[in-house]
C-alpha cells in the first residue's frame, strides 16, 4: 500500500547515488587469508624441507591458478541486454530486467553480478542484478526493482559484470557498453476530487458534458443560410415568415477541456526555487493524469526551449505525450508567467478551462475561478498541500535532471559516495 502525507518532506537528502566500481582483478578477504596461508606453508616447507608440505603448497597455488583461469572464462562471451519499461515515474518502484546471454559453446557461466555505471543518479540506488547460472548457448533473465528519483530522459550505457567463481578467492570484473534510454515522468500524486470538479466547465449537459456548436445532437439556434451548406438544415417555417433563408444550428456534446499552463520560470538557481518548480511540474503531471482518466480533454502550454502548445485531447497516447513533455522540461531563467499568459492567448479557445501552475504565490486563487475565469495553483501556497498529496519519500529538492541541479546541492557526504561523484557526473553529461 502506498503511503501519502499532506506535505512532502525534505528530510531525506539523497545527494548522490553511490556507485560501486570494482577493480578488474581483486582478492576477497577469504582470498587474502588463503594467500597468507599459502605463503606460510611455503615458508614452512622451505624451512623443514618436508615433501608433504611442498605438495600442499603446490596444491594451494594450483587452486589460485585455477580460480584465476575459471573466473576469466566465466565472463568471456557473456552479453547483457536490457529490457527496460517504456517509462517510469519518480518515487514509484519499477522493474528493470536484464538478459544474460551466454554465447560460449560448452562452458556455462555461473555467479555473475551486474551493475550499472552510468545513469545511476536517476535512481535511489545503483541498479544491480545477480545471475546464478546460464548454460552454454542459453539466456537467463534476471529482474531487479529500483525507484527513480529524477525526471527526464535517462541514458544507460556503460555497465560492469563481475564474478568470484569458483572459490570466491579472486574477483574479476569487466566494463562494457550498450546504450539504452528510458523516460522518467515527474512524480504523480493523488488529486483531491474537489479540484477536478472545479476544473470542469460551468455549462454542462449531464454530469461531465457540455454542448458545443457544429454538431447534430440538439437544437442550438438559427443562422443565415450560406451557399454550399446542407439544405436539409434549412428552417423553412422561419424562412417563409421572414423571407430570408435561415438554417438550423445544432450542437455536439463533448467533455470539458482543460488547458494546463505550467510556469517554470525561476529568478535564481537556488535550492528552494528549484524545489518549487519541480513541485509545480509534479502538480501539473498529477492533474493531467487524473483528468484524462476522468474523461476530460487536456491540453498543455509550457516553455520547452520554445513555446510548446498541445491541443486538448484524451487517451493513453495523449497522456504519454503530455507526461513526456513535462518530464523533459529544461531550465527556464528568462520567460516568466506573464510571457506564458501572452503566448497562450492563441491556444486558449472559448469553452476551455485554463489552469495555471506557478512556483510562486500569486494573488488569484481557486476562489477567484468564477470571477477570473482561470484557476491558479501555486506550489508555494498552502492550498497545494490540500489538493495534491505525494508519497512521503519524494524529495523535490533533487527531482530535477542532474544538469539542472544547483552547484551548491552537489556537495556530497564523505566516504564512498564522494569518490563516485566524478564518474557519475561525467557519465550523465
Which of 388, 423, 321 shows the shortest CA–CA distance to 187? 388
For β-strands 109-116 and 152-163, DSSP reports them as antiparallel
The answer to whether residue 319 sits within a structural domain is: yes
Domain match, 39 and 176 both: yes
The alpha carbon of residue 175 and the mean position of all alpha carbons in its chain are separated, in whole angstroms, by 26
Task: Using the predicted structure, report yes or no on whether residue 205 has a pLDDT greater than 50.
Answer: no
What is the number of structural domains in the chain? 3
Give the CA distances from residue 351 to residues 209, 254, 312, 335, 354, in Å, rounded to whole numbers and listed in that order: 12, 11, 11, 27, 10
Cα(157)–Cα(346) distance, integer angstroms: 42
Cα(6)–Cα(388) distance, integer angstroms: 8
Domain match, 286 and 301 both: yes
Query: What pLDDT shows up at residue 329?
Result: 92
Q: Which band of pLDDT confidence, cut at 50, 70 and 90, is reported for residue 134? A: very high
Domain match, 300 and 349 both: yes
- Beta partners for 260? 300, 355
The answer to whether residue 172 sits within a structural domain is: yes
Q: Which residue has the higher pLDDT, 263 or 248?
A: 263
Which of 199, 189, 196, 182 shows the shortest CA–CA distance to 324? 182
Cα(317)–Cα(94) distance, integer angstroms: 20
Domain match, 62 and 86 both: yes
Domain match, 231 and 282 both: no
Query: What pLDDT shows up at residue 10?
Result: 39
According to DSSP, residue 366 is labeled G
Mean pLDDT over 58-80 rounds to 90
Domain match, 247 and 262 both: no
The answer to whether residue 310 sits within a structural domain is: yes
Grid coordinates standing for 309? 502548445
Query: What pLDDT shows up at residue 350?
Result: 59
Q: Which residue has the higher pLDDT, 82 or 219?
A: 82
The answer to whether residue 247 sits within a structural domain is: yes
Query: What pLDDT shows up at residue 193?
Result: 87
Cα(203)–Cα(76) distance, integer angstroms: 69
Q: What percent of the chain has pLDDT over 70?
A: 81
Q: Which band of pLDDT confidence, cut at 50, 70 and 90, is reported for residue 51? A: confident
Give the CA distances from residue 394 to residues 43, 55, 389, in Å, rounded to whole numbers and listed in that order: 59, 61, 11
Specify the CATH number for the domain of residue 173: 2.60.40.10
The pLDDT tens digits of the residues spanning 250-262 come to 765 566 788 899 9
Query: What pLDDT shows up at residue 414?
Result: 34
Please state which of the ranges 53-57, 189-193, 413-417 shows the lowest mean pLDDT.
413-417
Range of the domain at 332: 190-198+256-389
Domain match, 269 and 346 both: yes
The answer to whether residue 82 sits within a structural domain is: yes
Cα(212)–Cα(294) distance, integer angstroms: 20
The pLDDT tens digits of the residues spanning 362-404 come to 755 443 444 346 788 888 888 888 889 898 888 888 888 888 8
> For 354, left (φ over 0), alpha (ψ -120 to 50), or beta?
beta
- Where are the alpha helices (H) located in 24-146, listed in sequence order? 29-48, 51-75
The pLDDT tens digits of the residues spanning 175-196 come to 999 999 999 999 999 998 888 8
The answer to whether residue 3 sits within a structural domain is: no
Average pLDDT over the chain reads 81
The pLDDT tens digits of the residues spanning 305-343 come to 899 888 888 888 999 999 999 999 999 888 888 888 888
Q: Which band of pLDDT confidence, cut at 50, 70 and 90, is reported for residue 216? A: low
Domain match, 214 and 161 both: no
Q: Which of 49-53, 114-118, 231-235 has the highest mean pLDDT?
A: 114-118
Q: Which band of pLDDT confidence, cut at 50, 70 and 90, is reported for residue 206? A: very low
Q: Backbone phi, then psi, for 59, in 5-degree steps? A: -65, -40
Q: Backbone phi, then psi, for 266, in 5-degree steps? A: -140, 135
Q: Which residue has the higher pLDDT, 311 or 199?
A: 311
The answer to whether residue 176 sits within a structural domain is: yes
Specify the CATH number for the domain of residue 277: 3.40.50
Query: What pLDDT shows up at residue 239?
Result: 82
- Helix (H) or strand (E) holding 379, with range, is none
Task: Using the predicted structure, report yes or no on whether residue 197 has a pLDDT greater than 50.
Answer: yes
> For 385, left (φ over 0), alpha (ψ -120 to 50), or beta?
alpha
The pLDDT tens digits of the residues spanning 344-358 come to 877 776 567 888 999
Domain match, 142 and 236 both: no
Domain match, 135 and 241 both: no
- pTM across the whole model: 0.75
Query: What pLDDT shows up at residue 253?
Result: 56
End-of-domain residue from the set 185, 220, 237? 185
Residues in Cβ contact with 401 at an 8 Å cutoff, skipping those fewer than 6 apart: 150, 151, 152
Q: Which residue has the higher pLDDT, 163 or 214?
A: 163
Reduced to 3 states (helix: H, G, I; strand: E, B; else coil), residue 182 is strand
Terminal Cα distance for the chain, rounded: 36
Query: What pLDDT shows up at residue 363?
Result: 57
Domain match, 266 and 384 both: yes
Which of 227, 275, 230, 265 shows the shortest CA–CA distance to 250? 230
Domain match, 194 and 305 both: yes
The answer to whether residue 429 sits within a structural domain is: no
Q: Which band of pLDDT confidence, cut at 50, 70 and 90, is reported for residue 247? A: confident
Amino acid at each position: 500500500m502506498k503511503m501519502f502525507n499532506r506535505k512532502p518532506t525534505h528530510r531525506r537528502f539523497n545527494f548522490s547515488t553511490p556507485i560501486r566500481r570494482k577493480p578488474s582483478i581483486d582478492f576477497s578477504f577469504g582470498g587474502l587469508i588463503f594467500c597468507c596461508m599459502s605463503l606460510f606453508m611455503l615458508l614452512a616447507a622451505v624451512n623443514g624441507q618436508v615433501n608433504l608440505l611442498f605438495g600442499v603448497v603446490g596444491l594451494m597455488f594450483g587452486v589460485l591458478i585455477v580460480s584465476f583461469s575459471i573466473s576469466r572464462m566465466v565472463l568471456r562471451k557473456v552479453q547483457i541486454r536490457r529490457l527496460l519499461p517504456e517509462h517510469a515515474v519518480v518515487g514509484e518502484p519499477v522493474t528493470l530486467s536484464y538478459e544474460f546471454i551466454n554465447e560460449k559453446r560448452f562452458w556455462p557461466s555461473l555467479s555473475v553480478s551486474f551493475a550499472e555505471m552510468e545513469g545511476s543518479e536517476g535512481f535511489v540506488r545503483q541498479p544491480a542484478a545477480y545471475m546464478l547460472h546460464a548454460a552454454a548457448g542459453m539466456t537467463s533473465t534476471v529482474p531487479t526493482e529500483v525507484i527513480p528519483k529524477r525526471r527526464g530522459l535517462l541514458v544507460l550505457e556503460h555497465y560492469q559484470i563481475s564474478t568470484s567463481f569458483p572459490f570466491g578467492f579472486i574477483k574479476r570484473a569487466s566494463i562494457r557498453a550498450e546504450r539504452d534510454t528510458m523516460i522518467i515522468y515527474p512524480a504523480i500524486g493523488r488529486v483531491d476530487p474537489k479540484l477536478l470538479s472545479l476544473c470542469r466547465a460551468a455549462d454542462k449537459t449531464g454530469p461531465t458534458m457540455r454542448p458545443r456548436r457544429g454538431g447534430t445532437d440538439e437544437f442550438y439556434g438559427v443562422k443565415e443560410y450560406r451557399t454550399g451548406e446542407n439544405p436539409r438544415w434549412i428552417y423553412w417555417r422561419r424562412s417563409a415568415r421572414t423571407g430570408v433563408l435561415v438554417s438550423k444550428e445544432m450542437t455536439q456534446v463533448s467533455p470539458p477541456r482543460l488547458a494546463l499552463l505550467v510556469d517554470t520560470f525561476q529568478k535564481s538557481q537556488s535550492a528552494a526555487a528549484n524545489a518549487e518548480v519541480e513541485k509545480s511540474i509534479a502538480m501539473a503531471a498529477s492533474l493531467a493524469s487524473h483528468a484524462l482518466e476522468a474523461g476530460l480533454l487536456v491540453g498543455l502550454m509550457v516553455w520547452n526551449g520554445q513555446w510548446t502548445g498541445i491541443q486538448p485531447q484524451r487517451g493513453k497516447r495523449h497522456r504519454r505525450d503530455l507526461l513526456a513533455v513535462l518530464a523533459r522540461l529544461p531550465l527556464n531563467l528568462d520567460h516568466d508567467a506573464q510571457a506564458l499568459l501572452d503566448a497562450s492567448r492563441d491556444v486558449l479557445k472559448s469553452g476551455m478551462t485554463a489552469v495555471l501552475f506557478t512556483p510562486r504565490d500569486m494573488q488569484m486563487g481557486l476562489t477567484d475561478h468564477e470571477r477570473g475565469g482561470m484557476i491558479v495553483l501555486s506550489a508555494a501556497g498552502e492550498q497545494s498541500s490540500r489538493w495534491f498529496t505525494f508519497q512521503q519519500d519524494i524529495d523535490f529538492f533533487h527531482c530535477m535532471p542532474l544538469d539542472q541541479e544547483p552547484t551548491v546541492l552537489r556537495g556530497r557526504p564523505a566516504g564512498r559516495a564522494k569518490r563516485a561523484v566524478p564518474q557519475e557526473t561525467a557519465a550523465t553529461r
